[in-house]
Amino acid sequence: MRQPLVAGNWKMNGSRSAVGELLEGIKAGLAGVKTAEVAVCPPYVYIPEASTRLAGTAVALGGQNVSTHAGGAYTGEIAASMLVDFGCKYAIVGHSERRTLYGEDDTVVAEKFEVARKAGLVPIFCVGETLEEREGGTTEAVIARQLDAVLDRFGAAALAAGVIAYEPVWAIGTGRTASPQQAQEVHAFIRGRVAAKDRAVAEAIRILYGGSMKPDNAAELMAQPDIDGGLIGGASLKASDFLAICTAANR
Ligand code: PEP
């Protein structure tokens, strides 16, 4: 049985006071979250604040990105060991915003996956097609290529240390959500692709859906057999919405 994971990706949003309010709001509603593991990925500078405020709760922390380097002269970068140092469990790698706005290709994403894994973090490995790719009928080919970048280079045993997030690019921050059927189809494809390498890893790995998941569509998405939680952007910035998504995973 895979425990659902609901992870909030705050992106570059917040202020000290807004972050404090959000964290206190999340803490106040955690008693209603029965099944899902909950994680938040704040901007780096707010990770210490989040770590302090979340102490004693089961909410895990994650970075939104990680450097491919272990340390040294890489201005502006954050190493995996630094995330570990501040109590992070997760690191998002390959988010479509990193891929499109910062030119991270499959090779870089795979390196980030491996660096994070080796440091003891659980990489949340994002894959997903653009609207053009979906309309052009290449969704599966794109997802396969993105997955294989990690699978072929580091193997299924390495992938097993991570979580996969299927995030159709056309659904991120657009208010346009994949239907439960559309999402399930791709999740099943992902699991099948992993199963072709290692059936046990495929059965165990969590595959999150991300892309305009909200309180009103979360339950239906998370009821799909191959959807094991969500990676939440916009709705993770409002405690009540985020908690409603977390509780939608209650079983
Ligand atoms: C995301 O960016 O990971 C995401 C899923 O965003 P949103 O929920 O806002 O679509």
Q: Is 32 within the bounds of a domain?
A: no
Kindly give the parts of the chain with pLDDT less than 70: none
pLDDT value, residue 158: 98
- 228 is in which domain, residue-wise? 38-233
Tell me the whole-structure pTM to 2 decimals. Answer: 0.98
Say how many Å lie between the CA of residue 233 and the centre of ligand 1.
Answer: 3
Q: Is 225 within the bounds of a domain?
A: yes
Cα–Cα distance, 104 to 110 (Å, whole number) = 10
Cα–Cα distance, 166 to 211 (Å, whole number) = 8
Q: Is 113 within the bounds of a domain?
A: yes
Q: Is 242 within the bounds of a domain?
A: no
Report in angstroms the alpha-carbon separations of 35 from 30, 111, 147, 179, 207: 11, 32, 28, 23, 16
Cα–Cα distance, 129 to 57 (Å, whole number) = 35
pLDDT value, residue 126: 98
Q: Is 95 a catalytic residue?
A: yes
Say how many Å lie between the CA of residue 72 and the centre of ligand 1.
Answer: 31
Q: Is 25 within the bounds of a domain?
A: no
Q: The domain that contains 100 carries what CATH number?
A: 3.20.20.70
Say how many Å lie between the CA of residue 90 and the centre of ligand 1.
Answer: 17
Q: Is 245 within the bounds of a domain?
A: no
Residue nearest to atom 3 of ligand 1 (CA): 233
pLDDT value, residue 122: 98
**Structural domains of the chain, count:** 1
Say how many Å lie between the CA of residue 92 and the centre of ligand 1.
Answer: 12
- Ligand 1 proximity of 64 Cβ (cutoff 6 Å): no
Residue-wise pLDDT tens digits, 51-68 = 999 999 999 999 999 999
Cα–Cα distance, 139 to 144 (Å, whole number) = 9
3-class state of residue 71 by DSSP: coil
Torsions phi, psi for 178 (to 5 deg): -65, 145
Q: b/e map of 136-149 (b: 16 or more CB within 10 Å)?
A: eeebbebbbebbeb
pLDDT value, residue 1: 86
Q: Tell me the best of 232, 242, 245 to mutate to test the pocket of ligand 1, counting ligand atoms within 8 Å of each CB and taking the most.
A: 232
Q: Is 246 within the bounds of a domain?
A: no
pLDDT value, residue 132: 96
Length of the chain as a residue count? 251
Cα–Cα distance, 226 to 195 (Å, whole number) = 13
Burial of 251 from C-beta contacts in 10 A (0-12 / 13-18 / 19+): exposed
Cα–Cα distance, 242 to 24 (Å, whole number) = 13
pLDDT value, residue 180: 98
Measured from the CA of 92, which atom of ligand 1 is nearest? 3
Measured from the CA of 214, which atom of ligand 1 is nearest? 8
- Ligand 1 proximity of 241 Cβ (cutoff 6 Å): no
Q: Is 167 a catalytic residue?
A: yes
